[in-house]
Amino acid sequence: MHSNGLQRQVEVHGASLDEILQVIREAPLLEICSLTDISPPTADVSETIIYHPHIRTLALLEMRREVFTKIVNSLELPSLKSCSFSSDFPDTITGTDAVAFLKRFGSGLTTFELYHLQAPLFEDVKQLLQAAPHLQRLNLDTYGDDSLSLVIDNILEHMSAPPSLQIGDNASFLSEIQRLEFRGSKLTAWACIPLIFRWPHRKLFSLDIETQPVIISDDLSKELVQLVDQGIKLRIEDSSNGKNYLEMFRKRGILEATN
């Protein structure tokens, strides 16, 4: 596997780690790099360090722990703007190597996507997100793992806290976030949503949730519908039927009022 040297984008599935590192090294103009299910190296790459000033989008998907660790420890990416991680192995994409990578190159990161999170601890995810202080868009997808709902609940609770209480480690927690997308199940922190949009620095924030079951009291549902009517960018989809929960609640209320 070789690069022509002029490539600006590569998408590779199933190659070996040493082949991938060679491709990246031979493509100095590369800007977008997407790697999926990369296998362990067939040659020695223990001393490999690649400084690449142009890569701004990196996707490491379906990664084994040892391969993910080697990639993030081998790449120097000062222009990184967008990152996507996924792994079927617990702690791989929220562990110390991932945090260290973002601490080195996450200062300019604006978009972050995490998939296939396996039973993560909120503190681990929090450390990962704090390593990217200027994050504007965050996408969390559990692929059916209920454990991430606890993480999302904690994120919403932290974001709903008054700015005056966000001190110390919490002061910069998602302070510049503009859009949060969540795909999963069993979310419970619905009451935090109106509190989030109460704060002036969250007025332009956009929240998009797909989950099941959607269990929200009528009073809170009315409050959420009112937020949408005020122009707040909020969407809650009941993934059991693919319908917009708030629009369905609104229609139900209209029907009841006319009966």
Asked whether residue 77 is assigned to any structural domain, the reply reads: no
Task: Give the range among 159-168, 176-185, 242-251 with minimum mean pLDDT.
Answer: 159-168
- Give residue 254's pLDDT: 60
- Taking residues 29-51, what's their average pLDDT? 93
Rounded-to-integer distance, Cα 32 and Cα 223, Å: 42
Residue 52 has pLDDT above 80, yes or no: yes
227-230 long-range contacts, Cβ below 8 Å, gap at least 24? 227/193, 227/194, 227/197
Total structural domains in the chain? 1
Asked whether residue 46 is assigned to any structural domain, the reply reads: no
| pTM (predicted TM-score) | 0.90
- Taking residues 194-198, what's their average pLDDT? 94
Asked whether residue 194 is assigned to any structural domain, the reply reads: yes
Asked whether residue 222 is assigned to any structural domain, the reply reads: yes
Residue 259 has pLDDT above 50, yes or no: no
Asked whether residue 210 is assigned to any structural domain, the reply reads: yes
Asked whether residue 106 is assigned to any structural domain, the reply reads: no
Which residues have CB under 8 Å from 230's CB, separation 6+?
Answer: none
CATH of residue 194: 3.40.50
1-23 pLDDT, tens per residue? 556 667 899 999 999 999 999 99
Query: By residue range, what is the domain housing residue 217?
Result: 125-258
- Taking residues 230-250, what's their average pLDDT? 94
| Both tokens assigned to 94 | 């929220």
Rounded-to-integer distance, Cα 104 and Cα 101, Å: 5
Residue type, 235: R
